[in-house]
Structure 1
Amino acid sequence: MRSAAEPSNAALGRSSDLLDQVDYRLAQTPEEKEKIYNLRYRAYLREGAVQPSADQRVTDQYDDLCNSWTFGVHLFGELYSSVRISVLTSEWRQSCSNEAFGEILNPRLDRGEVIIDPARFVADPDKAKRFPELPYVTLRLAYMACEYFNADVGLAIVRAEHQAFYRRVFLHETIAEPRFFPGLLKPVGLMAANFPAMRDKVFERYPMMRSTAFERRMLFERGAEHQPLPANVVVSPSESTSLVPQSCRIGS
């Protein structure tokens, strides 16, 4: 019996159709970033995750790091949702999940694993109800990142009441119980999936999570000059061969 939280076949079909209307935009200008910071504030405030503030924005020290990509998801020209994708390697370890759960993630990074950390997943509280498929369309970015960077692990930093959904739909397992994170009023736990092992299962259930090499490259390739990927990251010839801009090189 299908849970109410799991999409129907009709909804999944509509998700695929909805992709024709989706525009994934990397936030680069101050104006684009401020719209997303305000969206975070409105979404978190509606669910009681933050206190009211005069500046009406939520940002942190990870937004402008070289291993982070903050995307706005636009439908019909309007901003509907956002997620930040951080790529963790043995050299690049900074993300909100690693700050909160470093004792769990750092040993994996020490072993050379590549981890995709999606965070700050929010949807416009006034628009989200129009498209119940929006979570799948938004979190598709995490799957594209896992493909692009040849990830070993995909994370989800999730409140307790949302963990069943991630476990059922995205086959994540809880690897750390909820704890409080700076700036949020509700505790979050850490979930993870072995991407190579779960990839085909998820794609079989949700074909709309698939993507092309060209789409992934357009979203995650940066600039004309790049930092070479760590040696443990292997990408196909059609993919990018770099992770971050030259100006963000370690030690620069």
Structure 2
Amino acid sequence: MSVSNASESRFADRLLEILDRVEYRRVETGEDMEEVARIRAKAYKMADILPVTGNSLIDEVDFDSQAYVFGIYYRERLISTVRVHHVTPDHRVSSSAGIFGKEINAFLDAGMSLIDPVRLAADPLVLKEMPAIPYLTLRVATMASEHFDVDRCLSLVKPQHAAFYRRVFDADTIVEPQKNCGDYRIDLTLLAARVREIRPWLYKRFPFFDSEPFERRMMFGDRRAKPTPLTILPTARLAMNTQSRARSHLSGRRT
């Protein structure tokens, strides 16, 4: 194992340890939305990206039928949040499309489906102590990409963050950095990961992104059909062990 691979392995083990104390909660009530708004406000203020007009950080798109807002809790404390859009040719509600509509529509007109994770925000004080929070939060996007079996997972990010998405998700640049975008008047770029292609090596490299089907169903299933779980516990370790047993079984059959 190279030094780089050994370092990544230690990082993955540490993330799995942190994940053991994490809960995901799908946000659907007004009280929980207020908590989400507070985290968004803290994070955006720290990054100096508050909207040019208006004070509300909750909008009508948060309640779209194919938008999923999640809170990520560590030891019962809300540490971050993300909103995930399932975007299809028949349902084109997407935050990224509001800024780079031509490129998003090109994907959809080609018959593709997308996951658009936006409004990613972390408590600035906790982020200083736990710089791995973005990984824990983006795990929601990897689960959504697999649950809905989409073609691409988008990354609408500041240009200085693009290298992270290229390195971790092998994301392709769709739109080069543009200045003064959207209501926030910030520089943005758009990337997209080919999720089906990267999934095998992504889970091997970063097993904390993996999950079991029942976790994904609890995260993204139709809440009208069954009771709503209050919290959802990560299943990355279980998924990793399941994959390990499967590989051992295949190896045994070959011998």
Q: CA deviation at 1:183?
A: 2.5
Shift, 1:210, TM fit: 0.6
Q: Shift of residue 225 of structure 1? A: 4.6
How many angstroms does 1:197 deviate by? Answer: 1.1
* 1:13-52 matches, cutoff 5 A: 13-50=13-50
- Equivalent pairs counted in the alignment come to 222
Contact 2:98/2:182 (8 A) holds in 1: no
Structure with the higher helix share, 1 or 2:
2
Query: Cα gap change, 1:52/1:175 in structure 2, threshold over 3 Å: closer, same or farther?
Result: closer
Q: Deviations over 1:5-55 (max 9, x none)?
A: xx7432221101111111111111101011111211110111111269995
Post-superposition, which runs of at least 4 consecutive aligned residues in structure 1 deviate over 6 A? Answer: none
| Aligned mates of 2:112, 2:64 — CA distance in 1 | 20
Q: TM-score, normalised by structure 2?
A: 0.81
**2:245 counterpart residue number:** none
**CA gap 1:16/1:91 in 2 versus in 1, 3 angstroms:** same
SS of the equivalent of 2:99 reads: helix
Q: Which runs of 5+ in 2 are unaligned?
A: 227-255
Query: Any unmatched runs of 5+ in structure 1?
Result: 227-252
Of all paired residues, the percent bearing the same amino acid is 35
Change beyond 3 A, Cα 1:118–1:2 = farther
In structure 2, what is the Cα distance between the partners aligned to 1:60 and 1:187? 22
1:126 aligns with 2:132: no
1:91 aligns to what? Answer: 90
Counterpart position of 2:199: 199
Describe the SS at the equivalent of 2:100.
Answer: helix
Q: C-alpha separation between the residues in 1 aligned to 2:3 and 2:122? A: 24
Q: How far apart in 2 are the matches of 1:39 and 1:177?
A: 29
Tell me the distance in 2 between the aligned counterparts of 1:36 and 1:181: 23
Residue 62 of structure 1 is matched in structure 2 by: 61
Instruction: Compute the displacement of 1:193 (Å).
Output: 0.8
User: Could you tell which deviates more after superposition, 138-147 or 175-184?
Assistant: 175-184
Q: CA deviation at 1:182?
A: 2.6
| 2:52–2:184 Cα contact (<8 Å) kept | no
Give the aligned partner of residue 136 of structure 2: 137
Supply the distance in 1 between the matched residues of 2:127 and 2:91 (Cα, whole angstroms).
33
Query: Does 2:216 match 1:216?
Result: yes
Q: Contact 2:145 / 2:195 at 8 angstroms: preserved in 1?
A: yes
Aligned to 2:73: 74
The secondary structure found in structure 2 opposite 1:74 is strand
Shift of residue 178, structure 1, vs aligned partner: 2.7
Which residue identity lines up with residue 161 of structure 2 in the other structure? H
- 104 and 2 in structure 1: CA distance in 2 versus 1, 3 angstrom threshold: farther
2:113 aligned with 1:114: yes
Cα RMSD after superposing both structures: 2.1
Say which is worse superposed, 78-87 or 17-26, in terms of deviation: 17-26
Structure-1 separation of matches of 2:209 and 2:191: 19
DSSP-derived class of the 1:62 partner: helix
Secondary structure of the corresponding residue to residue 224 of structure 2: coil
Aligned residue number for residue 185 of structure 1:
185
- Structure 2 partner of 1:100: 99
Structure 1 pair 2–175 and aligned structure 2 pair: CA distance change class (3 A) = farther
Identify the residue that residue 253 of structure 2 maps to in structure 1.
Answer: none
Is the contact made by 1:12 and 1:133 (CA closer than 8 Å) also made in structure 2?
A: no
1:53–1:96 CA distance, 2 compared to 1 (3 A)? closer
Query: How far apart are the structure 2 equivalents of 1:69 and 1:100?
Result: 20
